[in-house]
């Protein structure tokens, strides 16, 4: 039987064979980012719980201020200031427990390379929202360079950083100063036509407090009402503040409100009626709150993502320094010279207004940047 002749194996025949055989295609593995997961999971019970827990911290700032004044008007004259402190600490203890149920940011974990913890957080959120995770593997490029303190003092941001620190320190100094100065002014009863030296009484309470050498002027019910009205002023300028920072820009808006704050500190020296004093304190609380809102927005916008948290953190540290210095002026210096204390507060606000106006960068209409 004749056999079919075999074709010799050549380079051409091998090439034909390789072209005729389809190469197996490698399937690309599916991946997703934190943003993709957030979009897929959607809004649900987790976000509601997060809003209630984190939102309550912001509501203790205004509502808490009003509440503590109301409690003080009832507790201090009856059982003493120590019980006021004990009662006031209860919401903070509750929040400490509540913070246990707030997970670490998934975006932060991914940015540091800890994708396992980020995935666990996202899966927990999806379970709470009764949703599903996107298919694939969680990926996110790790930032090549993270923010350092030296970056804040880089030539590009040195002037901005120093001026922002001055503004944060001054705003905090003025904010806590006006709160403490309000109590001092009301205690001294400086309304025109009233007694210059009010009667000194000992704060009541338990037997231990009655023997205390600390003597204070007791607030009258009208003084507590004045404190409540002035505290409400912190939200009075919010609509105008929003319009100002969006139409006038962050720098000009902040310099205007800081300048007005300096003016109203000086107006407290004027001999006025009870309604006039309430009006001045109301406007001061409104202005110092507007200052805080504007500088917070500006600081978050002026730094890129790699430096934003560092910039906010260092500014917050300067803010605490201003808060620590304020009692020495609004209580210690004011007891010696009311005019001197109020002029000092006004001078600091003028310096902050100039610093805000001369900031080298305006962030109005400027997109947030990821890197320097």
Per residue in 28-78, pLDDT (tens digit) is: 678 888 778 888 888 888 878 777 766 666 667 777 788 888 888 888 888
- Residue 29 region by backbone torsions, left for phi larger than 0, else alpha for psi between -120 and 50, else beta: beta
Pairwise CA distance, residues 64 & 57, whole Å: 9
pLDDT of residue 23: 53
pLDDT of residue 222: 78
Q: What is the pLDDT of residue 171?
A: 93
Instruction: Give the global pTM.
Output: 0.69
Nearest alpha carbon to residue 186 among 218, 213, 234: 218
- Could you tell me which of 331, 74, 79, 335 has the C-alpha nearest to residue 203? 79
Beta bridge partners of 137: 31
Q: How many CA atoms lie within 13 A of 253 on its CB side?
A: 27
- Please write the tens of the pLDDT for every residue from 354-369: 999 999 888 877 655 5
- How many Cβ atoms are within 10 Å of 65's Cβ, its own excluded? 18
Cα dist from 137 to 111, 122, 133, 276, 326, whole Å: 15, 12, 10, 64, 52
Q: What is the pLDDT of residue 144?
A: 55
What is the DSSP code string of 236-271?
TTHHHHHHHHHHT-HHHHHHHHHHHHHHHHHHTTS-
Count how many Cα atoms sit within 13 Å of the Cα of residue 203 in the half-sphere of its side chain.
21
Residues of the chain with pLDDT under 70: 1-28, 53-59, 141-146, 187-217, 366-372
Q: Which helix (H) or strand (E) holds 187?
A: helix 158-188
Residue 24: how many CB atoms within 10 A of its CB?
6
Q: Residue 133: its pLDDT value, please?
A: 85
> Rounded to an integer, what distance in angstroms lies between the CA atom of residue 243 and that of residue 250?
10
Q: What is the pLDDT of residue 353?
A: 94
Half-sphere exposure of 20 (CA within 13 A, CB side): 6
Q: Which domains does the chain have, with CATH numbers?
A: 29-143 (no CATH), 147-190+219-371 (1.20.1250.20)
Predicted confidence at residue 8, as pLDDT, reads 57
Residues whose CB is less than 8 angstroms from the CB of residue 9 and which lie 6 or more positions away in sequence, other chains included = none
Nearest Cα to Cα of residue 142 among 113, 107, 109, 118: 113
């Amino acid at each position: 039987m004749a056999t079919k002749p075999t074709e010799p194996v050549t380079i051409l025949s091998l090439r034909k064979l390789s072209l005729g055989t389809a190469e197996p295609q490698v399937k690309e593995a599916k991946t997703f980012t934190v943003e993709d997961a957030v979009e897929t999971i959607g809004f649900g019970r987790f976000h509601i719980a997060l809003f209630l827990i984190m939102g309550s911290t912001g509501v203790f700032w205004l509502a808490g201020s009003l509440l503590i004044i109301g409690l003080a008007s009832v507790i201090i004259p009856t059982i003493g200031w120590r019980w006021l402190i004990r009662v006031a600490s209860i919401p903070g203890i509750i929040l400490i427990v509540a913070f246990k149920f707030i997970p670490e940011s998934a975006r932060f974990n991914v940015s540091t390379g800890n994708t396992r913890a980020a995935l666990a957080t996202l899966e927990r959120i999806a379970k709470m929202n009764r949703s599903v995770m996107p298919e694939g593997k969680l990926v996110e490029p790790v930032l090549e360079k993270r923010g350092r303190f030296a970056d804040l003092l880089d030539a590009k941001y040195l002037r901005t950083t120093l001026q922002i620190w001055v503004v944060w320190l001054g705003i905090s100094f003025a904010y806590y100063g006006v709160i403490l100065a309000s109590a001092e002014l009301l205690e001294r009863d400086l309304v025109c036509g009233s007694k210059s030296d009010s009667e000194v009484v000992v704060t009541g309470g338990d037997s231990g407090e009655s023997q205390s050498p600390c003597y204070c002027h007791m607030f009258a019910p009208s003084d507590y009402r004045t404190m409540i009205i002035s505290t409400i002023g912190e939200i009075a300028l919010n609509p105008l503040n929003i319009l100002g920072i969006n139409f006038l820009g962050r720098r000009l808006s902040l310099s205007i409100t800081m300048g007005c704050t300096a003016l109203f500190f000086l107006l407290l020296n004027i001999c006025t009626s009870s309604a006039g004093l309430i009006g001045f304190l109301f406007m001061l609380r409104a202005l110092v709150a507007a200052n805080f809102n504007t500088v917070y927005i500006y600081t978050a916008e002026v730094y890129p993502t790699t430096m934003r948290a560092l910039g906010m953190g260092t500014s917050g540290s300067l803010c605490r320094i201003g808060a620590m210095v304020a009692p020495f002026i609004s209580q210690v210096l004011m007891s010696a010279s009311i005019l001197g204390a109020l002029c000092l507060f006004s001078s600091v606000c003028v310096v902050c207004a100039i610093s805000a106006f001369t900031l080298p960068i305006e962030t109005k209409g400027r997109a947030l940047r990821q890197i320097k």
